[in-house]
Amino acid sequence: MEAIVIDPTALDEATWIGAVVAEEVRGGGRKRFSKGQRLTADDRPALESLERPFHAVRLSPGDLHEDEAGGRLARAVAATSPQLEIRGPVQSRYNLVATAKGLLRVDRQRLLDVNRLPGVAVFTLDDRTPVLPGRVVTGTKITPVAIPETTIADAERLLADGSAVRLLPFRPLRVQVVTTEPLEGRQRDRFETTVQRKIGWYGGTILGFAQLPAEAAAVAAAIERAVDAEADLLLAAGGNTIDPIDPTLLALDRVGARMVRAGAPAHPGSMFWLAYRDELPIFNLASCSMYSKATVGDLVLPWIMAGERVTPDDLADIGYGGLLDRNAGHRFPPYEQDAASDDDHGE
């Protein structure tokens, strides 16, 4: 790539035809050429009307224009994720847009490796962001007006396994709910309506609500019934996480469930716990998460609804950003929406 100056008073077609404009060029009170625009023979009248020289570059063999390079980056990112649609370019930026509700996964190390390449820019929402159809989740572009093709080839090799950016669609899980906390009247209606709304947002269905006596045997039997009914998830409400003889916690031992973690490094929702009985996740609905939409439970639920197996390290890592104040709303599922608004398009 060679930097050149185009002088409108001394135009040499061998110099400027095919050159790429490196700055916005104005003349006569309006924009004549945009940054990144390739000049053609048809542009001579506009060039002759200018009053000052401007900067451009002439591409060398093996260079890629920014539009072509950004498009190749976008296709490499989206190659293994059919739920991502490529749109653009707009000012040489391509957007990857979600076509389904799902959980965005971003491999930060792989993204770092790609963005270490000179001139390459791939930018995303946060890892594990729940997204709606129409939401822009990733952008790609290069920062100069042209880049060596070998650099883009290096980026494509780093992106080839599809791990850098993925969208995991939410699954229509079958969910059983049990509670050992007595709920009556409006309180019970509110609880069931809230849980129905949340699970329904993901496309899941509630198999039933079982209000149980605070006895380990009763909870254990309810877990076994959920397994027999082929439930994909069991939500356990009520109980006391810090009580070692809480009946729900005792029931986990009775059915051979394995605790992933009791307590989470975050607030609100620090009393959250998660266990597995073989493949069945048993997910604690702490008192604050029964009605709120901004607790640890609402961070973890999208992972499970996307089919992920949650590990102890996953829950420990919540501590980074675990102060869930009013400014953390972007991290939670937008339960009040089913599609992205215009404000989410990012274009």
The pLDDT, as a whole number, for residue 342 is: 59
Q: Looking at residues 173-195, what average pLDDT do you find?
A: 91
| Domain topology for 64-168 | Aldehyde Oxidoreductase; domain 3 (3.90.1170)
Give the least confident one: 44-48, 265-269, 307-311: 265-269
Extents of the domains making up the chain: 2-58, 64-168, 174-331
Half-sphere exposure of 126 (CA within 13 A, CB side): 11
Distance CA(97)–CA(81), nearest Å, equals 11
Q: Which CATH number fits domain 2-58: 3.40.1350, 3.40.50, 3.90.105, 1.10.3470?
A: 3.90.105
Q: Using alpha carbons only, how large is the chain's radius of gyration in Å?
A: 27
What pLDDT digit, counting tens, does each position of 37-95 carry? 999 999 999 999 998 999 999 999 999 999 999 999 999 999 988 999 999 999 899 99
Helix, coil or strand: residue 260: strand
* pLDDT digits 0-9 by tens, 203-257: 999 999 999 999 999 999 999 999 999 999 999 998 888 888 999 999 999 999 9
Which whole-number Å values give the CA distances from 332 to 57, 297, 328, in the listed order? Answer: 45, 10, 8
Helices then strands (H, E): number in the chain? 10, 20
Strands 165-169, 136-142: parallel, antiparallel or unpaired by DSSP? unpaired
Task: Of 205, 204, 232, 203, give the one whose Cα is nearest residue 132.
Answer: 203
Q: Which CATH superfamily is domain 174-331 in?
A: MoaB/Mog-like domain (3.40.980.10)
Give residue for tokens 């953390």. Answer: 328
Q: What's the CA gap between 30 and 8, in Å, rounded?
A: 16
Confidence band of 151 (pLDDT split at 50, 70, 90): very high
Distance between CA atoms of 86 and 71, rounded to whole angstroms?
9
> Please, what is the angle between helix 108-115 and helix 149-159, to 10°?
170
Say which residues have a Cβ less than 8 Å from residue 12's Cβ, sequence separation at least 6. none
What does the alpha-carbon distance between residue 1 and residue 116 come to, in Å, rounded to a whole number? 20
- pLDDT reading at 24 higher than 70: yes
Cα(136)–Cα(122) distance, integer angstroms = 13
DSSP per residue, 306-320: TT----HHHHHGGGT
C-alpha neighbours within 13 Å on the C-beta side of residue 220:
14
